[in-house]
Amino acid sequence: MKRNIILFGPPGAGKGTFSGQILKILPDIVHISTGDLFRYNLKNNTPIGLKAKEYMDKGALVPDEVVIEMVRDKLNTEEVKNNGYILDGFPRTLKQAEALSKMTKVDLLLLLEVSRDIIMKRILGRFGCKKCGSIYNKWTLPPKEKLGDDKWKCDKCGSDVVFEQRADDNEDTLNNRLDVYEENAKPLLEYYKNITKAINAENTLKMTDDDIKKALEI
Ligand code: AMP
C-alpha cells in the first residue's frame, strides 16, 4: 500500500513518534523529517548545515529555497516513488506547499492536535539515543532501565542514553517556534483543507494499529 502523507502539527505534537507508529504498519514508507535532515547536516558541517544553523539556533525557519531543494532530492528516489513518504516538518510555509505540489501528489495531511501545556512538557523533557535515534521523554516516556541520575539504557539498542536537550528545545526558542507555527499554520491548512484529517495527538501512543490504519485511510 503506497501513501503520500504530510504529518502536520506544532513542535512537540509527536510527529517523530507517530511516524514510528506508521512505520510499523507501512514498513517500506520513507520517513522524511526536515528537522532531522538539518540536524544531520549541522553535525557534519555541510554547506546546508552551515546555512541552516543561524536560523535553527533562533527557532526561526530556514529559508524556503534551502528546504525545498533538500526535500526535492529526497523525493526524487525510487524508494519514495515506489513506497510513498511521510513528510514530517515539511511544508511549513505556503511557498513550500506550492513547490511540493509541483513535485508530487499528496494523499493526506494528518493534523496532530495537542494543547500548549502538553507541548511544553513534551519538548522540555525530550531527548534521544545518540546511537539509534530512539526518542524518549524524561517525565512521560523514559527508557525502561534506569542507570543513574538522568541516565538510562536504550530500550531499542541497549546503549547508554543521557538526558540532554536538543539545542533548540529551551523555553525561549520554543515560544518562538510555537508562534512561528501558529502564524504559518492557517494558510497551510486552508491550502490542504480537502485532504486534511485532524487527530487528537495527546495520547497517540495508546492508538491501536486499527486506529492508525483508520487515520491513514487504509
Ligand atoms: P523540527 O525538528 O521539525 O522542529 O525542526 C527544527 C528546526 O529546523 C526548525 O526550527 C527550523 O529552523 C528548521 N526546519 C525544519 N523544517 C523546516 C521547514 N520545513 N522549513 C523551514 N525550516 C525548517
Determine whether the shortest distance from the Cβ of 62 to ligand 1 is under 6 A: yes
At 140 the pLDDT is: 86
Determine whether the shortest distance from the Cβ of 16 to ligand 1 is under 6 A: no
Determine whether the shortest distance from the Cβ of 126 to ligand 1 is under 6 A: no
Domain that holds residue 36: 3-115+179-216
Taking residues 37-43, report their average pLDDT: 94
C-alpha cell at 38: 538539518
Q: How confident is the model at residue 59 (pLDDT cuts 50, 70, 90)?
A: confident
At 120 the pLDDT is: 87
Strands 145-148 and 30-33: unpaired
Q: How confident is the model at residue 205 (pLDDT cuts 50, 70, 90)?
A: confident
Q: What is the pTM of this model?
A: 0.85
Is 174 inside any structural domain?
no
Number of domains in the chain: 1
Taking residues 144-165, report their average pLDDT: 95
Is 167 inside any structural domain?
no
- Residue 44: is it exposed, middle or buried by C-beta count within 10 angstroms (0-12/13-18/19+)? exposed
Q: How confident is the model at residue 165 (pLDDT cuts 50, 70, 90)?
A: confident
Peptide bond into 91 cis (omega under 30): yes
At 182 the pLDDT is: 92
Is 138 inside any structural domain?
no
CA distance 114 to 126: 16
For ligand 1, the distance from its centroid to the CA atom of residue 147, given in whole angstroms, is 33
User: Where residue 205 sits, what CATH number does that domain have?
Assistant: 3.40.50.300
Taking residues 190-205, report their average pLDDT: 94
Q: Cell 487527530 belongs to which residue?
A: 199
CA distance 133 to 104: 28
Q: How confident is the model at residue 121 (pLDDT cuts 50, 70, 90)?
A: confident
Q: Whose CA is nearest to atom 5 of ligand 1?
A: 35
Q: Is the pLDDT of residue 34 over 80?
A: yes
